Amino acid sequence: MHTLALVVFALMAAAPVELAADVYEWRERAFGFPIGLGADQRAGISHFRLLVSEDRGRTWRHEGDYGADTKLIRFDAPDDGLYWFGLQLVFKDGTATPADVKQLKADRKVFVNTNGRPVVMKKEYAVLQAENEALRRRIAELEQKLDESGRKPK
């Protein structure tokens, strides 16, 4: 019984992790990400509230508050895995955007991978559609050139 469990565990550990195209892979547990707002955009902001989700946005944990002048937010992941990050802006008048954390969208998605698990990046459906359309156009161009050259196989 233990041998079977070890074999299954070994196979699972070796299986590549499939990530969406909007996920960054990071090989260290400590990292930071910039806050890309100009001084004019920060003027009415009291602070940023960093929220983290480890279940793809179903629930959010309040990780910390950062002053409006913060340029880089540092995060130390407790474990390897997928982390979604969202910022809630808290304004000087006390209002927040989004007002309800349930409406928070991930600003950044990071897969922490210190173990070096193999990773496969999935492409967004729209990207795949655009690539398919480009291939269709290229095939049509090549078929037209073959027709014009008289060398198209029958």
CATH number of 18-122: 2.60.40.10
Give the residue extent of every domain in the chain.
18-122, 123-154
How confident is the model over 47-61, as pLDDT tens digits? 999 999 999 999 999
Segment 125-129 mean pLDDT: 65
Asked if residues 50 and 63 have their Cβ atoms less than 8 Å apart, the reply is yes
Q: What predicted TM-score, i.e. pTM, was given to this entire model?
A: 0.69
Q: If you average pLDDT over every residue of the chain, what do you get?
A: 85
Better-scored residue on pLDDT, 78 or 10: 78
Q: Tens digits of per-residue pLDDT, 75-91?
A: 999 999 999 999 999 99
The pLDDT assigned to 125 comes to: 61
Q: What is the pLDDT of residue 17?
A: 84
The pLDDT-based confidence of 4 (bands split at 50, 70, 90) is: low
pLDDT of residue 6: 52
Read off the pLDDT of residues 87-120 as tens digits, 9 standing for 90 and up: 999 999 999 999 999 999 999 999 999 998 888 8
